[in-house]
């Protein structure tokens, strides 16, 4: 199952690879990383249709925000599930994300057990 993680903080890649090392080693997950909304859209557009099942994106990024990225993904690739993450658990961002089609909303620091549960639910549907 291919997952695209979108965050402007590059150290996120090491964190995710560490937290999902067993799933990666067992070929259950294939993680790819984009460090901007623009890069994420480029990666998604490089295959037709994209092989990604899930996108996990930060909301607060320079340039294109995660909420803008969410809108573009949902309009162009409606079958891709997208969850958002924010350092701030404010209801305004939560409501915007869910109303724009986000599957889930996480706050930093990420609860990786909840994220793994969400991914497991998606795997059951494929």
Query: If pLDDT is split at 50, 70 and 90, which confidence band does 90 have?
Result: confident
Asked whether residue 125 carries a pLDDT value surpassing 90, the answer given is no
Strand order across the beta sheet in which 30-34 lies:
30-34, 2-6, 52-58, 81-86, 104-107
Percent of the chain with pLDDT over 90: 89
**Residue 61: pLDDT over 90:** yes
Residue ranges of domains in the chain: 2-125
Q: Has domain 2-125 been given CATH number 3.40.50.300?
A: no
Which of 95, 97, 51, 96 has the alpha carbon at shortest distance from 77? 51
Read off the pLDDT of residues 20-57 as tens digits, 9 standing for 90 and up: 999 999 999 999 999 999 999 999 999 988 999 999 99
| Those residues with Cβ within 8 angstroms of residue 77's Cβ, 6 or more apart along the chain or in another chain | 44, 49, 50
**pTM for the model:** 0.95
CB atoms within 10 A of CB 32: 16
């Amino acid at each position: 199952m291919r997952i695209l993680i979108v965050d402007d903080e590059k150290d996120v890649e090491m964190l995710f690879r560490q937290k999902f090392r067993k799933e990666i080693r067992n070929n259950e997950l294939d993680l790819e990383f984009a460090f901007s909304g623009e890069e994420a859209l480029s990666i998604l557009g490089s295959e037709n249709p994209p092989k990604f099942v899930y996108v996990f994106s930060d909301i607060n990024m320079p340039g294109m925000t995660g909420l803008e990225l969410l809108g573009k993904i949902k309009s162009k690739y409606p079958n891709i599930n997208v969850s958002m993450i924010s350092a701030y658990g404010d209801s305004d961002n939560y409501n915007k994300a869910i109303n724009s089609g986000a599957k889930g909303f996480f706050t930093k620091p990420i609860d990786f057990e909840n994220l793994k549960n969400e991914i497991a639910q998606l795997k059951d549907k494929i």
